[in-house]
Amino acid sequence: MSDLLVAGPVLVIVAAVVVLLYVVPVGLWITALFSGVHVSLATLVGMRLRKVVPADIVRPLISATKAGITLDIAQMEAHFLAGGDVGRVVAALISADRANIELPWKRATAIDLAGRDVLQAVQVSVNPKVIETPRIAAVAKDGIQVIAIARVTVRANIERLVGGAGEETIIARVGEGTVSSIGSADSHKDVLENPDGISKRVLERGLDAGTAFEILSIDIADVDVGRNIGAELQTDQAEADKRIAQAKAEERRAMAVAREQEMRAAVVEAEAQVPMALAEALRAGRIGVMDAYRMDNIQADTRMRGTIGGETATEEPE
């Protein structure tokens, strides 16, 4: 029982010390003090109350102080509360200072809050980045397809990172310029002989306007010959013309068949009137029965002769 009475106050004291050390980060305060950064314990406690992680402010502040950069701890807290990454912003400021790049605190925080990686932007500004475009297909004036791949060397433009277009715009503009340059070539051989002409024409267009990058160079990495688009188009056109001609010929044939059928119908109609006219002539006495009989014999003899002549005509080629 006495042990419990002793252990109870001890646990309370230990819990109070743990809570006190959490609320008052003494270890962080000592680290800052020996690093030459003067931050009061009241400021650290205030960070806890404002739900700011003291380590995320003090450690970047120590790095900046060691690098000779003076920062306002209140502005750092404001950026943290706004959802920014204080550590990467401070690292970007140190990198920019070492590279003699002007990067104020407000611009760095604005870039960070805009969703861009400010540290990577500074690194790309110091060490240019190479962007490779996908395969770009275009057709020269002689109808031959040319496929090219371009490599664009860019450097980040710190001043245009906020509101500037990204890599997708650079790739799209370079692709558009490449297609235009190849399309203006008289022959695909000219493109194969002088691929640097494409890069020169594209670079002269000022494609980096309004983007977050500055284009340093455009190099054609690969050029291949594709299909003969002109010949394919001519073949397709000839096939279409042939189908149109066939359709018109079929139309004329159908009209001829219809005309023939009309003429045959007229002949049948006329032949149907012959017996009627013959009967009318017999009734009127204009011809006799023997005359009609002789006319039938003549017609039969004519048909027989025509039949014999037709058979002979068909046998002669054999």
Does residue 13 have a pLDDT over 70? no
**47 φ, ψ to 5°?**
-65, -40
Percentage of the chain lying above the pLDDT 90 cut: 5
Does residue 85 have a pLDDT over 60? yes
Does residue 74 have a pLDDT over 50? yes
Alpha-carbon distance values, 90 to 50, 73, 155, 272, 318 (Å): 21, 12, 21, 112, 106
Confidence grade of residue 182 (pLDDT, cut at 50, 70, 90): confident
Percentage of the chain lying above the pLDDT 70 cut: 89
Q: Are residues 99 and 72 in the same domain?
A: yes
Confidence grade of residue 4 (pLDDT, cut at 50, 70, 90): very low
**Rounded CA separation 31/33 (Å):** 5
Domain containing residue 92: 2-118
pLDDT, tens digit, for every residue of 253-297? 999 988 888 888 888 888 788 778 777 777 777 777 677 777 777
Does residue 315 have a pLDDT over 70? no
Q: Are residues 89 and 40 in the same domain?
A: yes
The lowest-confidence range among 39-53, 134-148, 170-184 is 39-53
Average pLDDT on 34-55 reads 81
The lowest-confidence range among 24-33, 87-96, 201-210 is 24-33
Q: What is the pLDDT of residue 316?
A: 47
202, 229, 256: which is the final residue of a domain? Answer: 229
Average pLDDT on 52-78 reads 88
Average pLDDT on 54-77 reads 88
Residue 315 within any structural domain of the chain: no
DSSP code per residue over the chain: -HHHHHHHHHHHHHHHHHHHHHHS-HHHHHHHHHTT----HHHHHHHHHTT--HHHHHHHHHHHHHTT----HHHHHHHHHTT--HHHHHHHHHHHHHTT----HHHHHHHHHTT--HHHHHHHHHS-EEEE---EEEE-TTSEEEEEEEEEEEEE-GGGTTT-B-HHHHHHHHHHHHHHHHHT-S-HHHHHH-THHHHHHHHTT-TTTTBSEEEEEEEEEEEEEEEEHHHHHHHHHHHHHHHHHHHHHHHHHHHHHHHHHHHHHHHHHHHHHHHHHHHHHHHHTSS-HHHHHHHHHHHHHHHHHHHHHHHHHHHTT-
What CATH number should be reported for the domain holding residue 222? 3.30.479.30
63 or 294, higher pLDDT? 63
Q: Are residues 108 and 150 in the same domain?
A: no
214, 229, 244: which is the final residue of a domain? Answer: 229
Q: Are residues 7 and 96 in the same domain?
A: yes
pLDDT, tens digit, for every residue of 235-257? 888 889 889 999 999 999 999 98
68, 95, 118: which is the final residue of a domain? Answer: 118
| Residues 73/39, Cβ–Cβ less than 8 Å | yes
Q: Are residues 69 and 40 in the same domain?
A: yes
Q: Are residues 91 and 194 in the same domain?
A: no
Q: What is the pLDDT of residue 244?
A: 92
* Averaged confidence pLDDT in the chain: 81
Does residue 79 have a pLDDT over 80? yes
Residue 295 within any structural domain of the chain: no
Question: What is the number of structural domains in the chain?
Answer: 2
Residue 206 within any structural domain of the chain: yes
Q: Are residues 111 and 137 in the same domain?
A: no
Q: pTM (2 decimals)?
A: 0.59
**233 φ, ψ to 5°?**
-65, -40
